Every structure is written in structure tokens, then in C-alpha cells.
């Protein structure tokens, strides 16, 4: 519910309405504006109806929030959210942010060499997996906490904030200690206990769309995080599973403008997982920029031929540099810069 107060309503009268909302067990929101104050009430719709705030002399209008996701909806929050992530990386701003690095942290040498090359090419955030949820239990599962320490060390040395995936709540404290941003991967998009836990953390969250999730499912998952008090959520379109077998997934770029119309949260596109094919990463990255994405997350490896994870979709450093050069006119045409 959105409650618009009449001009001139005092802070004391505003606080009384907020107390009335909180007394019913609803979540009160205080959204002061330049001309008038807007309040929000989030919770059980039956309780909301019983408040009868439209009769309050200080209330101008009461409007229900129709979308099932309240806090991440543009109905409640019409302005774009910008998520800060260290120097040069404010996702959702006028800068197109590129996150790049290997699928998995394999060694200090591998990670440092890749980080050096992606930074030279213009990436502003380093990615790398320490915990790797794999389809096969016999595949490389990541270096775990040792990988986190390496990622943090290399990120500091290269001056890049780092993002890495958390797979289990028990590892969350360690990830928070070493990472600047926490990734919730596609397989965990609807792990609601994990979403609630990262919602209580002092780190931005990168939330990837699940392979069988609708856009509404993705936004509802983001609602779990924001409802716990963490407003710094970045969505990620990384492809969904369809009947098509030519690519690893079907990259649903229509999700980008759809999300932009309905939510204030920024959204990245992952053309690496979205296609699973190295030669398709660049054209889909350019298309992502053209359709309004706030940035990309791309897998790059110093030598993909020997990568322990996702080598066939990882770009060689030279290919990543070429991608960054090709992106510039697309990004600038959208009114942004790299």
C-alpha cells in the first residue's frame, strides 16, 4: 500500500501513522520527497484493508501495490536503484559495468594473470568461483575457502572489487569477509533461507535467474532479499532452459526491458552461461547493451583450453579486449559510457 500524505503534514503526524502501521504487524516505510511525503505499508492485504487510512485527515491518497513483489516494484520505488561496489563500479548508473574473470579460481597464478588482462581491457569488477555447484559430483568443485582468500588477495592487488558465489549459509560469513559482492547462483535462486540470510548481510547481492524461473519468480526472489533489509540487489539474466539444444541455455534478452519497466533494480546479462559457446558471447553481449542492460558478467580465462570449469564458453583475454572495444558504440548509443 502506498500512502501519499498531504502537503504540510508534520513529521509528528507522519510518525503517528507509521506507528499505527507497525502496531498491526505490517512493515512501515518512510519515503520523504521534495514536495510531499509518501509512506508504505507492506504485509497481509487483509490487515492493510483494516487500517482505513483513507479517512486520516493527513492522508491524500491510498493506493494498493498490485504487483506481488512490493519492495522491488516501481510502484513503490519509481526511481532506479544504483548499487555501489567500490571505485568505478556503481551498477545502475550511467556507466556500463563489466564484471569479468574465470568461472573458477584455480590457482593464484591463473587468477592473477586473468585479472591483469581483464582490468587492462576495461573490466571494473573481478569474478571467480570458490564454491562451484556442479551437475556432476566428480567435476571440479572449487578451492573453497582457500579460493576465497586468493580472490580477495588478487582483487586488492589489481584494484578490483570481487564477486563470488555463496552456495550454503554455513559459508556466508567467509564469503562476506572476502568478497565485495555476494552472488546467489541460478541453482539457489529459490533457496529462500539463503536469500533471507544474504538479505541480512552488509554486502550487495548479485541474484541470477534460475534455469526454469519466470521473470516474476526472479523478482519475488529479490523481494526476499530486500525484505530482510538489504536494498542493494542486482539481477542477472543468464539464460533459461527451453527445448532448444543448439546452445547451453536460451538467453532471454526480453527479460531486460521487462524488468526495467517493472522494477527499479539494475540488471546484468551473462552471455557466457546464456549461450555456453565462446563464439556467441560477443554478439549476445552487444545485444544485451543494446536492449538496456546495466552491464555484463563474462567468463574470461588466461588459457580456456586448460580451464577446470566452463572452458568452452570462456573468452581468451584477446577476445575479451576485442569485446570491450566493440561494446563502446553500443553503450554510448544508449547514453552510457564504459
- 286-295 pLDDT per residue, tens: 999 999 999 9
Note whether 288 and 269 are within 8 A (CB): yes
164 and 267 inside one domain: yes
> Within a domain: residue 72?
no
> Within a domain: residue 169?
yes
139 and 287 inside one domain: yes
181 and 263 inside one domain: yes
Res 251: pLDDT: 98
Q: Which tens digits make up the pLDDT trace of 231-249?
A: 999 999 999 999 999 999 9
Res 35: pLDDT: 72
pLDDT above 90 coverage of the chain, percent: 80
For the whole model, what pTM was predicted?
A: 0.92
pLDDT above 70 coverage of the chain, percent: 99
195 and 51 inside one domain: no
190 and 287 inside one domain: yes
With b for 16 or more beta-carbon neighbours within 10 A and e for fewer, the 8-19 pattern comes to ebeeebbeebbe
Q: Looking at residue 122, which CATH number applies to its domain?
A: 3.20.20.70
What's the structural domain count of the chain? 2
Domain with 184, as residue range(s), is 83-333
**Residue 207 dihedral angles phi and psi, to the nearest 5°:** -110, 115
112 and 53 inside one domain: no
Asked if residue 157 has pLDDT above 90, the reply is: yes
**Residue 221 dihedral angles phi and psi, to the nearest 5°:** -65, -40
**Residue 59 dihedral angles phi and psi, to the nearest 5°:** -100, 130
Asked if residue 144 has pLDDT above 90, the reply is: yes
User: What Cα–Cα distance (Å) separates residue 312 from each residue in 165, 247, 315, 316?
Assistant: 21, 12, 8, 10
What's the mean pLDDT in 217-221?
98
SS3 (DSSP) at 107: coil
Confidence of residue 34 (pLDDT cuts 50, 70, 90): low
Asked if residue 32 has pLDDT above 70, the reply is: yes
Q: Which helix (H) or strand (E) holds 207?
A: strand 205-208
Average pLDDT, the chain: 94
Res 178: pLDDT: 96
Strand order in the sheet with 59-63: 27-32, 37-42, 2-5, 59-63
> Within a domain: residue 281?
yes
Q: Looking at residue 43, which CATH number applies to its domain?
A: 3.30.70.1140
Asked if residue 304 has pLDDT above 70, the reply is: yes
Note whether 101 and 299 are within 8 A (CB): yes
**Residue 184 dihedral angles phi and psi, to the nearest 5°:** -105, 115
31 and 59 inside one domain: yes
Res 51: pLDDT: 82
10 and 113 inside one domain: no
CA-derived radius of gyration, the chain:
21
Minimum mean pLDDT range among 63-77, 112-126, 201-215: 63-77
CB-based burial label for 173 (10 Å; 0-12, 13-18, 19+): exposed
Query: Which of 31, 63, 95 is the last residue before a domain boundary?
Result: 63
Amino acid at each position: 500500500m502506498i500512502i501519499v500524505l498531504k502537503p504540510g503534514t508534520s513529521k509528528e503526524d507522519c510518525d503517528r501513522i507509521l506507528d499505527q502501521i507497525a502496531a498491526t504487524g505490517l512493515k512501515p516505510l518512510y519515503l520523504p520527497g521534495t514536495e510531499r511525503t509518501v509512506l508504505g505499508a507492506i504485509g497481509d492485504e487483509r490487515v492493510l484493508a483494516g487500517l482505513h487510512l483513507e479517512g486520516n485527515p493527513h492522508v491524500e491518497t491510498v493506493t494498493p501495490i498490485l504487483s506481488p513483489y512490493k519492495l522491488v516494484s516501481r510502484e513503490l520505488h519509481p526511481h532506479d536503484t544504483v548499487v555501489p561496489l567500490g571505485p568505478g563500479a556503481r551498477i545502475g548508473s550511467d556507466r556500463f559495468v563489466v564484471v569479468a574473470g574465470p568461472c573458477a579460481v584455480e590457482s593464484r597464478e591463473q587468477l592473477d594473470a586473468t585479472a591483469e588482462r581483464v582490468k587492462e581491457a576495461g573490466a571494473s569488477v573481478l569474478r571467480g568461483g570458490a564454491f562451484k555447484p556442479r551437475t556432476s559430483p566428480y567435476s571440479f568443485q572449487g578451492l573453497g575457502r582457500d579460493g576465497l582468500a586468493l580472490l580477495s588477495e588478487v582483487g586488492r592487488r589489481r584494484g578490483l572489487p570481487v564477486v563470488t558465489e555463496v552456495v550454503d549459509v554455513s559459508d556466508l560469513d567467509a564469503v562476506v569477509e572476502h568478497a565485495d559482492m555476494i552472488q546467489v547462483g541460478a541453482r539457489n535462486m529459490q533457496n529462500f533461507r539463503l536469500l533471507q540470510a544474504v538479505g541480512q548481510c552488509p554486502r550487495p547481492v548479485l541474484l541470477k535467474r534460475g534455469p526454469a524461473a519466470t521473470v516474476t519468480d526472479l523478482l519475488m526472489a529479490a523481494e526476499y532479499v530486500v525484505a530482510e533489509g538489504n536494498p542493494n540487489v542486482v539481477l542477472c539474466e543468464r539464460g533459461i532452459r527451453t527445448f532448444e539444444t543448439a546452445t547451453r541455455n536460451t538467453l532471454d534478452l526480453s527479460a531486460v526491458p521487462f524488468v526495467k519497466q517493472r522494477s527499479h533494480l539494475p540488471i546484468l546479462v551473462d552471455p557466457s552461461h546464456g549461450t555456453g559457446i565462446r563464439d556467441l558471447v560477443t554478439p549476445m553481449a552487444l545485444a544485451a547493451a543494446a536492449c538496456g542492460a546495466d552491464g555484463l558478467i563474462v567468463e574470461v580465462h588466461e588459457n580456456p583450453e586448460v580451464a577446470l570449469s566452463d572452458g568452452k564458453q570462456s573468452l581468451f583475454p584477446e577476445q575479451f579486449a576485442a569485446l570491450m572495444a566493440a561494446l563502446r558504440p553500443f553503450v554510448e548509443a544508449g547514453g552510457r559510457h564504459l
